[in-house]
């Protein structure tokens, strides 16, 4: 064997035992930092499995209440509700109707848990429009940003009236956070907070979600969701949201955008959330189902990596399960 000076510096010393590793761990994932997205579908009596998201379902109103109670029991930070209406139209009328599925589900969830768990709701039109876009269209078929804003304001008021604690505007219309903030404040609802999807990318990783909400999207969302090529633009969007009154800003998806999470975390002074989206969930579930990946460690590593990148809060379909694993 060749002669050499034995290393004096040995980083492995701190990895020798589980107790040492635990002591020096830089990042943790705690149940309170996880938010569970839940889908509720109008007109069904029992939950329906979502085939592209094994383990996830479209809830009935009844099963949603149970899922919300279960999330509270698990100690997660909150739930994010998405509605799947029975009928859709060009302007997403179901979104602003107090009897619309998302609004009744918000009321159900709040009746179930009160303030013991933070109840959040998606504030976007794509689940409610027949063309599947996040906004309304003008005569030429283009997204009408400002007419959409007026509907978002109404939608925020309907969700607030239903009792929501935090709204999640996800449509990426310019000025949406400011318009929603002033609508809420004008209605005496300065108590309702805003989790803004600041940096939301036009991503292939939303694929399974489109099945989950029965979306009938024609075309793509590239005129409003961001180009995956751009990180600075994501920071800019997040800063604009904070300036307009966002209480929390979100980066979405998470795994392919860990650099954006870090840059946003280093730039803003509000909590940063990240959305571990449907496609990210489906990839791990599919690989695990094939025996190609060890499921639980992969889930925990995924969540840890998103936290390490700088996310304070993670929206993840594993929230309730992971809370049990931690």
Active site residues: 200, 252
206 contacts ligand PBG (rule: CB under 6 A)? yes
Which residues from 10-69 bind ligand PBG, rule CB under 6 A? none
Cβ atoms of 277 and 203 closer than 8 Å: yes
95 contributes a contact to ligand PBG by CB under 6 A: no
- C-beta closer to ligand PBG: residue 124 or 251: 124
Q: Which helix (H) or strand (E) holds 168?
A: strand 166-169
Q: Is position 285 an interface residue for ligand PBG (rule: CB under 6 A)?
A: no
Count of residues in contact with ligand PBG, rule CB under 6 A? 10
Question: What is the smallest separation between the CB atom of 153 and ligand PBG, expressed in angstroms?
Answer: 17
Comparison of 191 and 311: residue with beta carbon closer to ligand PBG: 311
Is residue 209 a contact residue for ligand PBG (CB under 6 A)? yes
The verdict on 170 binding ligand PBG (CB under 6 A) reads: yes
Count Cβ atoms within 10 A of the Cβ of residue 137 and give its class: 0-12 exposed, 13-18 middle, 19 or more buried.
middle
Part in contact with ligand PBG (CB under 6 A); list of ranges 112-120, 122-130, 228-236, 291-299: 122-130
| Dihedral angle computed from the Cα positions of residues 85, 34, 49 and 225, in that order, rounded to the nearest 10 degrees | 50
Minimum distance from CB of 211 to ligand PBG (Å)? 10
Q: Which of 42, 122, 237, 285 binds ligand PBG (CB under 6 A)?
A: 122
Phi, psi of 179 (to 5 degrees): -65, -40
Q: What pairing do the DSSP bridges indicate for beta strands 48-49 and 57-59?
A: antiparallel
Cα dihedral across residues 18, 318, 108, 173: positive or negative: positive
The closest alpha carbon to 64, from 43, 84, 87, 41, belongs to 41
Closer to ligand PBG by CB, 62 or 228: give it.
Answer: 228
- Identify residues 219-238 at the interface with ligand PBG (CB under 6 A): 221
Tell me how far apart the alpha carbons of residues 206 and 238 are, in angstroms, rounded to a whole number: 20
Neighbours of 150 (CB within 10 A): 13
Query: Interface with ligand PBG by CB under 6 A: which residues?
Result: 122, 124, 126, 134, 170, 206, 209, 221, 277-278
């Amino acid at each position: 064997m060749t002669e050499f000076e034995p290393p004096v510096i040995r980083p492995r010393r701190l990895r020798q035992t589980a107790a040492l590793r635990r002591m020096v761990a830089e990042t943790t994932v705690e149940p309170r930092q996880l938010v569970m997205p839940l889908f509720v579908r109008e007109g069904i009596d029992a939950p329906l499995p979502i085939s592209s998201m094994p383990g996830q379902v479209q809830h009935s109103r009844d099963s949603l209440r149970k899922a919300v109670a279960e999330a509270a029991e698990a100690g997660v930070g909150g739930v994010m509700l998405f509605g799947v209406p029975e009928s859709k139209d060009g302007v997403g009328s179901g979104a602003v109707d107090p009897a619309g599925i998302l609004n009744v589900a918000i009321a159900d969830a709040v009746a179930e848990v009160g303030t013991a768990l933070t109840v959040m709701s998606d504030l976007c039109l794509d689940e409610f429009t027949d063309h599947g876009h996040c906004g309304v269209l003008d005569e030429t078929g283009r997204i009408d940003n400002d007419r959409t804003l007026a509907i978002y304001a109404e939608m925020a008021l309907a969700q607030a009236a239903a009792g929501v604690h935090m709204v999640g505007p996800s449509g990426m219309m310019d000025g949406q956070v400011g318009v929603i903030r002033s609508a809420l404040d004008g209605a005496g609802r300065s108590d309702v907070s805003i989790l803004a999807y600041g940096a939301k990318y036009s991503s292939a990783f939303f694929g399974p979600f489109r099945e989950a909400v029965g979306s009938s999207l024609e075309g793509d969302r590239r005129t409003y969701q961001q180009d995956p090529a751009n990180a600075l633009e994501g920071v800019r969007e997040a800063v604009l949201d904070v300036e307009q009154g966002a209480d929390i800003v979100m980066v979405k998806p998470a795994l392919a955008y860990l650099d954006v999470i870090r840059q946003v975390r280093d730039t803003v002074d509000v909590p940063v959330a990240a959305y571990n989206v449907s496609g990210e969930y489906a990839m791990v579930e599919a690989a695990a189902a094939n025996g190609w990946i060890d499921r639980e460690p992969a889930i925990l590593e995924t969540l840890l990596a998103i936290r390490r990148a700088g996310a304070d809060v993670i929206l993840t379909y594993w929230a309730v399960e992971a809370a049990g694993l931690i």
